[in-house]
């Protein structure tokens, strides 16, 4: 949702999606990716936020500023890929516990 955060929606019943919560720690959310119970938020010049989704409410676990200008993000097969717009590089991090 950009500057208003990230909306987490329960779609267990696709005919009646239900808003669970909104996470608002980033100044602007460019993109998101979920791997298990972890939410990765590409927050542009701030870097990448790691958010724990295992509890009743999302909990910010950390912010990786060293990943550059995180413009896009995708997770799969135990890795998360981040597009760094500052250096035009594709970065890969391990996203499994």
- Taking alpha carbons only, the member of 97, 69, 96, 80 closest to residue 33 is 80
**pLDDT band at 95, cuts 50/70/90?**
confident
Cα separation, 61 vs 13, in Å, equals 29
pLDDT at 29 over 90: yes
DSSP string, 5-73: -EEEEE-SSTTS-EEEEEE--SS-B-EEEEETTEEEEE-BTT-EEEEE-SSSS-EEEEEEGGG-SEEEE
Digit-coded pLDDT (tens) for 43-58? 999 999 999 999 889 9
pLDDT at 11 exceeding the cut of 70: yes
pLDDT digits (tens, 9 = 90+) for 72-86: 999 988 899 999 999
17 close to 11: Cβ distance less than 8 angstroms? yes
Structure confidence at residue 97 (pLDDT): 58
Domains and CATH numbers, the chain: 28-94 (2.40.10)
Q: Is the pLDDT of residue 34 over 80?
A: yes
């Amino acid at each position: 949702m950009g500057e208003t955060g990230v909306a987490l929606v329960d779609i267990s019943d696709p005919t009646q999606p239900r808003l669970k919560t909104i996470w608002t720690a980033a100044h602007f959310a460019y993109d998101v990716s979920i791997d298990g119970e972890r939410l990765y938020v590409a927050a542009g010049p701030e870097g990448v936020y790691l958010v724990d989704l295992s509890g009743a409410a999302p909990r910010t676990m950390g912010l990786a500023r060293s990943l550059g200008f995180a413009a896009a993000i995708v997770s799969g097969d135990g890795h998360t890929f981040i597009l760094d717009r500052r250096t035009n590089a594709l970065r890969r991090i391990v996203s499994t516990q």
